[in-house]
Amino acid sequence: MKSDKKNKNLLFVVKKTDLENFSLCDYISDKIDLRMDQFKGMVQQRNFLAKVPTEDKLVILIDIVNFSKNDSKTQFADIIIFQRYVRTFIFSRNFSFGKKINIENFVPTGDGCYMIAAKCDVHLAVNFLITMIAGFQNLLDYQNKPMGIRCSALIGECIPFMDLAIHKNFVGEGMNEAARVLTYGQEALETRYIAEGHTEEEAKAYSKNSLFLGQSLYSESDKALFDGEKISDCHLLEAVADKHGKKRDILVLRGIKKIQ
């Protein structure tokens, strides 16, 4: 959005049409002329938040295993390797999916990223994710070791906004739930494996390169997701609780096999 002389010093440039259309203001400057209480008052007066449009998106969260254990320079090298693989996969291998996975945005997390895509067919999304994770197993990190990752995915509610760096970003339950599915799904899977007599180190290795699916991306009766040629096994983790006590079922596709 272009700023004119009158508006160039505003923290938020709020156009009348922005509020009428219930879209968030999209300009941030380094000078503050419009106080936050004034902005909140303008928003509340028009019942803004009640009418902000939300969209269901395919939300994918990828974490690099043991990333924080490395020194800063190794982390730098590994995140570059990670990003190059993801971008190469998205913009080349995606052609094999008929370009039907429409990735709208990448949101860096430090040790990985979110990918936000348009809602699509469940089978297409899961096959896309399995293929991407399989490719990671051919990827070597800076120390010449296989780069391990863990991934969660679901269909969830998101709202786009302009962040502090003036980049498109997203907030919403879809983002939060993807993080919970990954964190608490991994914890539940490893706890189960340790209870079977394995060590904590073995459990960490067991959960590596796994795909944790929220309930919006699978059906218990859907055998198409349990393709033995692509994965070793799958686990249904039932009633997995987060720190707020909210429970959800999580399907784990484990032992995703390398692309030959």
The whole domain housing 166 covers 55-254
* Across 62-78, average pLDDT: 95
Q: 66 and 176: one domain?
A: yes
* Across 182-200, average pLDDT: 96
Our count of domains for the chain comes to: 2
Among the listed residues 256, 243, 245, 244, the one whose alpha carbon sits nearest the alpha carbon of residue 206: 256
Q: What are phi and psi of 31, to 5 degrees?
A: -115, 145
Q: 193 and 234: one domain?
A: yes
DSSP-derived 3-state class of residue 192: helix
User: Does 13 have pLDDT greater than 80?
Assistant: no
Question: pLDDT tens digit string along 133-164?
Answer: 988 888 899 999 989 999 999 999 999 888 88
In a domain, 5, yes or no: yes
Question: pLDDT tens digit string along 202-221?
Answer: 999 999 999 999 999 986 54
Contact 24, 18 (CB under 8 A): yes
In a domain, 259, yes or no: no
Average pLDDT over all residues of the chain: 81
Q: 47 and 91: one domain?
A: no
Compute the Cα dihedral for 189, 195, 198, 200 and give only its sign. Answer: positive
232 vs 245, which has greater pLDDT? 245
User: Does 50 have pLDDT greater than 90?
Assistant: no
Report CA-CA distances (Å) from 181 to 80, 211, 217, 234, 238.
26, 10, 12, 15, 12
Q: 145 and 162: one domain?
A: yes
In a domain, 260, yes or no: no
Q: 29 and 90: one domain?
A: no
User: Does 244 have pLDDT greater than 80?
Assistant: yes
* Across 90-114, average pLDDT: 80
Q: 111 and 37: one domain?
A: no
Q: How far apart are CA 200 and CA 194, in angstroms?
A: 6
Q: What pLDDT is attached to residue 220?
A: 54
